[in-house]
Amino acid sequence: MAAVTHKCPAPMGDCCPAVSGKMKRARNDHNLGSIYNYKSLETLGEGTYGTVVKAQDQRTGETVAVKWIRPDDEGVTDLGAVFHEAACLEACRGDPSIVQLKEVAADEVGHIFIVTEFVGPSLESHLWRRFSGAEIRAAMHQLLRGAETIHGAGMIHRDIKPNNVLVGPGGALKICDLGMAVQTRPAGGEPYPEETVAALWYRAPELMRGSRSRRTYGTAVDMWALGCVMIDLLFGEPLFKDAETEDDVLHRARDLQYQMESMTDLLLPELSEAGHEVLRGLLSLVPEKRLTAADALSHRWFEEEDAPLSPCSMFSEGSA
């Protein structure tokens, strides 16, 4: 049987016997599955920290997604990071707007894999047209529902962007990649250690100049990112496209704030007045004034009856 394959540094067992022993203990402690139960079908994406492939569970025939966590330069896998992401996914189990964890698996030499349900391509691959207000409302309802679950579990995603939203059959959207997620910390508490989080175009103002030295922030950073995703759908491309620095993003964000407050040049016909209220609430420069996921979901925008809120065919091939 062909297991999931990948290019990688020297196996952990060949580099460090102590790490190999740690892997064996981890397998026992965490009841790891075997990666040899899965057959690789195609590579879905490669990044700095790992590779994601489409695979088939040879026991059931089910199609899944397998994320291989790349070891460091010495061939050592960060087991803490792997199990952290798996635990974050487990905390969101059952939410239809978040990708579902199947298991954590390993091979004989200690490489670790996170196995999840297979959903489909990323939302980023669909940003080639402008969507209608009803379509955007259906999409945002799903994403806000996922954010509410993440925040309700006491976490901040910290990396919401179109590439971390998967599009399934019938327009079902699922937030994925919780590798950057952290436990919410109280205001004024211990700062987060990371100096830079979130992709630049989706990075909240409080994560940029003026606030980074404190590195204290809350779930509002995810709400800003969702506001950026919402306007991406409206424009058919990223809001801060071509911005190369934080100063670029902040300058455009301030311009956007002025436009939304004055309603000049941004009265988008795709959105109702209620839709504009949600957009302004998500993209407030002041995090304390930003809508929470729960507040947004209870907004009157989601009570409008011009189209259903259930997953729709807005992302089906050939939509226009």
Feature table: binding site: 67
Find out whether 173 and 97 touch, Cβ atoms under 8 Å. Answer: yes
Of 315, 95, 135, 309, whose CA–CA distance to 234 is shortest?
Answer: 135
Sign of CA dihedral 192, 284, 265, 312: positive
Report the C-alpha gap between 262 and 259 in whole angstroms. 5
Q: What is the DSSP letter of 284?
A: -
Annotated binding site for ATP: 67
- The one-letter amino acid at 274: A
Q: What is the DSSP letter of 158?
A: -
Which member of 159, 177, 222, 232 is catalytic?
159
Residues forming a β-bridge with 63: 56
Residues sharing a CB contact under 8 Å with residue 87, sequence separation 6 or more, in sequence order: none
Give the Cα-Cα-Cα angle 103, 65, 81 (nearest 5 degrees): 55
Q: How many CB atoms lie within 10 A of CB 258?
A: 12
Report the C-alpha gap between 147 and 60 in whole angstroms. 31
Structure tokens at 170: 């019938």
Residues forming a β-bridge with 190: none
Question: 96 by DSSP, 3-state: which?
Answer: coil
β strands within 10-135, DSSP E: 33-34, 38-46, 50-57, 63-69, 101-106, 112-117
Would you call 159 a catalytic residue per the annotation? yes
CA 194 to the chain's CA centroid: 18
Q: Which residues are catalytic?
A: 159
